[in-house]
């Protein structure tokens, strides 16, 4: 199986092109909070971690500074090059498709943050099975899951960045959030990502099919679109995404 979704590579390439490359420097405090959250959710000492869909490598660098031996896997060559330019050599960085790339090592922790749901349910099941194969027998995985009711409410919302605009929509029939970006004044160049949203029941059933058991659920934050204020903590019914901790069943 390979990534059939032709939008993925072009979308993340364009998103990287249009975002501020100094974003990491502006996020220092937030990165520290994210690292603290990951370590707290894992709940025990760990030495090795694989992060798939690692993007800019920001979280991997934060965890590496805390003594974790990090390995990353990212599809987009430009993101991999950027991560390598900023990362210490102690982080092992791979470029490839996480549906097909072969990693022989197993890890204490596997992480997939902000991106699960790219393909079909069958694709997601296959990926969960791969994640299980990368975990040590006593290991765990942390995976961010997009929560449908938040994205139903977000439909139609738009925002503007320095070089690009963004609009959210929601595909009710397939429970997918649609996230469209375009350069300012060039809407014809728009690219869209489409991520499957899952209820707790749906993702629990999918994990069971993959031989995984959910042992923790951690709600994330939410955006109040009336006041345009982001709240870092929200209920499961309001959060834009929740994180699950899974172990081998």
Question: Distance between CA 155 and CA 213 in Å, rounded?
Answer: 32
Question: Distance between CA 140 and CA 13 in Å, rounded?
Answer: 30
Structure token digits, residue 41: 């959710």
User: pTM higher than 0.85 for the full model?
Assistant: yes
Tens digit of pLDDT for each residue in 95-108?
Answer: 999 999 999 999 99
- pLDDT (average), residues 134-145: 98
Arithmetic mean of pLDDT over the chain? 94
- pLDDT (average), residues 166-175: 98
pLDDT value at position 23?
73
Tokens 């502006």, located at residue: 26
Question: Distance between CA 87 and CA 59 in Å, rounded?
Answer: 11
pLDDT value at position 51?
98
- pLDDT (average), residues 125-133: 98
CA distances from 84 to 3, 28, 80, 91, 113 (A): 23, 19, 6, 9, 19
Structure token digits, residue 79: 């993101």
Predicted confidence band of residue 1 (pLDDT cuts 50, 70, 90)? very low
CATH class of 7-147+197-220+239-248: alpha beta
- pLDDT (average), residues 168-192: 97
Tens digit of pLDDT for each residue in 39-63?
Answer: 999 999 999 999 999 999 999 999 9
Predicted confidence band of residue 9 (pLDDT cuts 50, 70, 90)? very high
- pLDDT (average), residues 136-154: 98
pLDDT value at position 40?
97
């Amino acid at each position: 199986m390979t990534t059939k979704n032709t939008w993925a590579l072009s979308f993340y390439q364009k998103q990287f092109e249009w975002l501020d490359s100094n974003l990491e420097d502006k996020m220092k405090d937030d990165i520290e909070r994210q690292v603290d959250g990951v370590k707290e959710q894992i709940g025990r000492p760990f030495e090795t971690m694989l992060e798939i869909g690692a993007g800019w490598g920001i979280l991997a660098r934060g965890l590496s500074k805390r003594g974790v031996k990090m390995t990353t896997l990212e599809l987009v060559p430009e993101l991999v090059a950027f991560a390598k330019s900023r990362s210490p050599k102690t982080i092992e960085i791979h470029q490839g498709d996480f549906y097909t790339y072969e990693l022989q090592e197993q890890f204490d922790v596997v992480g997939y943050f902000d991106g699960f749901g790219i393909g079909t349910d069958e694709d997601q099941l296959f990926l969960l099975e791969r994640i299980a194969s990368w975990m040590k027998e006593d290991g765990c995985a942390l995976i961010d899951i997009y929560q449908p009711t938040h994205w139903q409410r977000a439909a139609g919302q738009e925002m503007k960045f320095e070089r690009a605009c963004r609009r959210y929509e929601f595909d009710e029939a397939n429970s997918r959030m649609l996230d469209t970006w375009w350069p300012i004044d060039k809407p014809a160049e728009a690219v869209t990502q489409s991520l499957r949203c899952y209820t707790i029941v749906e993702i629990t059933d999918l994990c069971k099919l993959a031989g995984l058991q959910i042992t923790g659920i951690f709600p994330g934050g939410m955006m109040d679109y009336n006041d345009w204020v982001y709240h870092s903590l929200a209920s499961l019914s309001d959060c834009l995404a929740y994180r699950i901790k899974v172990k081998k069943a």
